[in-house]
Amino acid sequence: MLQQTQVERVVPRWLAWLERWPDPESLAAASPGDVIREWQGLGYNRRALSLHRAACAIAADGWPDDLTALPGVGPYTAAAIRNQAYGDAVLPVDTNVARIQERTRHSFGPETLQALFDLGSTVCLARVPRCGICPLAAECPSRGLRYEPLRKQSRFEGSFRQRRAALLRLVAERARPLEEVDREAVESLERDGLVVVEADRVVLPA
């Protein structure tokens, strides 16, 4: 849920999610449609299906030794789970951590993870780092440097992503006649497994 979604938006949804589905087995027993409905408002809805598929895999076969075998779990997410859930000595390297390591030219141990997260999100910022208050500034070879702006994601307002999201919200409320909805958005959502067309109606997957 925290991937590209703000913490303050995630916390109440995460708590509600755990109350409804406290373990992989209960989540696996839910329908994909229910999972998509519960996810509404968090964005990037394919994550909901990946989470559901991962829960189904865990319920059927247990937790794999290699967490990247689970749907939607890449090397970073696997490392984060291992570090924070299992206590394994592995450092998950996200954008913030990679930026700090590159600028300081120092490799950090897994025990520094939360400190690096906080440092990267509040002090060692992407464009204009706040070197004056950085605890690593004295030995940082990049102190005082400024950086070119990163390429921003295209605007959501008026985008095809917005059309997809709007249609999915409508279908989450109730089935919609195919003739009344955005066909291009339907086809895109259908390819991602987020909707199904049945008898000329657009519905969530059962």
pLDDT in tens, 46-64: 999 999 999 999 999 999 9
Under a CB-based contact definition with an 8 Å cutoff, are residues 32 and 192 in contact?
no
Distance CA 153, CA 157 (A): 12
The model's confidence at residue 113, banded by pLDDT at 50, 70 and 90, is very high
The pLDDT of residue 4 is above 80:
no
The model's confidence at residue 83, banded by pLDDT at 50, 70 and 90, is very high
Which has the closest alpha carbon to 99: 150, 135, 139?
Answer: 150
For residue 110, the SS3 value is helix
Which has the closest alpha carbon to 27: 1, 3, 10, 49?
Answer: 49
What is the token pair recorded at 24?
A: 């992989």
| Segments making up each domain of the chain, as ranges | 7-73, 75-152, 160-203
> Which CATH superfamily hosts domain 7-73?
Hypothetical protein; domain 2 (1.10.340.30)
The model's confidence at residue 154, banded by pLDDT at 50, 70 and 90, is confident
For residue 202, the SS3 value is strand
| pTM confidence score | 0.82
Mean pLDDT taken over the chain: 93
The confidence score (pLDDT) of residue 158 equals 85
The model's confidence at residue 157, banded by pLDDT at 50, 70 and 90, is confident
